[in-house]
Amino acid sequence: MQRVSIFEDFRLKLAGHAVLEHASLSVLPGEVLVIMGPSGVGKSLLTDAVFSLLETSATVEASDVNPAVARQGCVVFQHAGGLPHLSVRQNLRLVAATSALADEALQASGLAPNASPERLSGGEKRRLAVQRALATGKPLLWFDEPAAGLDVHRSETLAKQLRAEAQDHGRAVIVVEHQPAFICAVADRVVWMLGDGHLQEVPPEVWADEAILSQHFRDAVQAAPAGSEDEGWSHPAFRWAMLAWPLRPLRWLRSLPYALLWPLGFFSSGWSLAVRSAGVAWSLTGLRGIPYFAAVSAIFSLIFLLVFELAVAFVDPSAVVARMGPQVLLRVAPVLACLLAAAQAGSSLTAWLGTMQSQRQLDALRVLHAPVERGLIAPTWFGGMLGVLCSAFVFAAVMALVFAGYLHWNAPEMLDSYVQALRALPWMNALGRTLLFSAVVASVAVDESLEVRRQSDSVARAVTASIVWGTIWVIASEALILAIELL
């Protein structure tokens, strides 16, 4: 039986510190290999390196790994779950090799087929993620702490299932784990990753007993203490971020290709995912914000009417409203509406997509070659833009109705002039500006959410950034358009 080579003469460095140096790792088909190491030793970096998911950074260096591993394997991350807008059954069928494997995984999960992942407990989400990986039929399975959040019974059941998958189906299974009881129940081989540059094979007589394994592991960690995985990230990364800060707003341009990709999602094999993704994004950015935009538009309209009343004390304010109201709709409504959308729509969209990114769900699906870009991200961009556009229309419509109501009660004879002025406006100009601003808000929100990684507060930072940069870019775009029109 030929071994599957994960990597040979592999090097992984974090801020100049050799996490692994000239390391080799292989696994036999039908074997369960456990990588055991303390927190912060670099196991997550190793997982990213194996599956070509490492982020570009001046602090991380890694040599190449066997490219076949990324093609033939799948990974279940520590905080994995299912896509929140798909049911349990749909999550399994999204990546399952066959319908039979999807049904088998569904039965093994013990979860309701139509249950929403958002309503599952932490342990249930983990079971869904594990079964989704098993349903792929991939010959190599990589699990990052699969027993986390499981009770004793579920942990024992999972250990038996992983061993059965390896032995009965000839799959190579690699498990990154801390819990000695689970390791003893599932392992055929155990290696220690202690951050000293080596992968050390653990003798069977050590890991065969839970108490002995725990004691030897404590002794090994004390002999070769591991640094924090966050160590070395802060200062170089912070300095680079400060240097790149002036160019940061231009990053949202990277999201514009999704404008070209979104039609492909609706006409590809992942069309169901694309439709649901666009629908959720539209609901978050448009449908749920309509009452908010209507109320805020009414308030702004009353403020403009008050300004007209105070500013033209010696002129009939109704005539000013009839003439200036349409101009306010043309020039002010798109900007105000999209500024509000940057806060309301941008924050909700970024939080939704960013949470999936922080839980590594998108990375796990990319490894499985699921249609993440064209089936989820691009339709989300389209749905977000459509939602912002709908909100802007609601804002403008309410403002137009408030102005018309004012004239109806104070000067009915001016209504015809008001309507004629509305019809004479260059509405295509306003529509074009609104489309541009909507694209800006959606692009900034998508780009910021895709920057999210494993930090616990990064989703909140992405939400804040999407609001700030979305607002800045809408204002800057309007200022540029105004400057061009005045030339």
Residue 344 pLDDT > 60, yes or no?
Answer: yes
**Same-domain status, 251 and 215:** no
184 and 119 within one domain: yes
Q: Tell me: pLDDT of 235 over 50.
A: no
pLDDT of residue 106: 92
* pLDDT for position 225: 53
> Both 422 and 372 in a single domain?
yes
Runs of H (alpha helix) within 359-377: 361-367, 372
Q: Is the pLDDT of residue 382 over 70?
A: yes
Contact 384, 442 (CB under 8 A): yes
Whether residue 380 contacts residue 278, with contact meaning beta carbons closer than 8 Å, is answered with yes
Query: Quick one: 253 and 166 in the same domain?
Result: no
Same-domain status, 183 and 250: no
User: Which of 206, 232, 258 finishes a domain?
Assistant: 232
C-alpha to C-alpha distance for 195 and 192, rounded to whole angstroms: 9
CATH number at residue 103: 3.40.50.300
User: Cβ(166)–Cβ(159) under 8 Å?
Assistant: no
Sheet (strand 199-202) strand order? 73-76, 140-144, 172-176, 32-36, 189-193, 199-202
190 lies in the same domain as 337: no
Give the HSE-up count for residue 35: Cα atoms under 13 Å, Cβ half-sphere: 25
27/126 same-domain check: yes
Residues 459 and 379 in one domain: yes
Question: Contact at 8 Å (CB) between 200 and 192?
Answer: yes
* Sheet containing strand 17-27, strands side by side: 17-27, 4-14, 60-62
- Count up the domains in the chain and report the number: 2
**This prediction's pTM:** 0.85
Side-chain-facing half-sphere of 415: CA atoms under 13 Å: 12
Predicted pLDDT at 247: 63
Range of the domain at 269: 239-486
Considering 116-125, 218-227, 296-305, 306-315, the range whose residues carry the highest mean pLDDT is 296-305
Domain boundary among 211, 232, 253: 232
49: closest CA among 19, 79, 28, 17?
19
Q: Could you say which of 196, 215, 232 is where a domain stops?
A: 232
What is the chain's mean pLDDT, rounded?
85
Check residue 37 and give its pLDDT: 81
226 and 263 housed in the same domain: no
- Do residues 207 and 259 share a domain? no
Pairwise CA distance, residues 431 & 292, whole Å: 21
One domain, residues 25 and 174: yes
Per-residue pLDDT tens over the stretch 187-232: 999 998 887 788 888 888 888 888 888 888 787 777 665 444 443 3
Phi, psi for 453 (deg, rounded to 5): -130, -140
pLDDT, tens digit, 9 for 90 and up, residues 29-48: 999 999 988 777 888 888 88
Amino acid in position 114? N
> What does the alpha-carbon distance between residue 364 and residue 355 come to, in Å, rounded to a whole number?
14
Does 301 share its domain with 436? yes
**What is the enclosing helix (H) or strand (E) of 191?**
strand 189-193
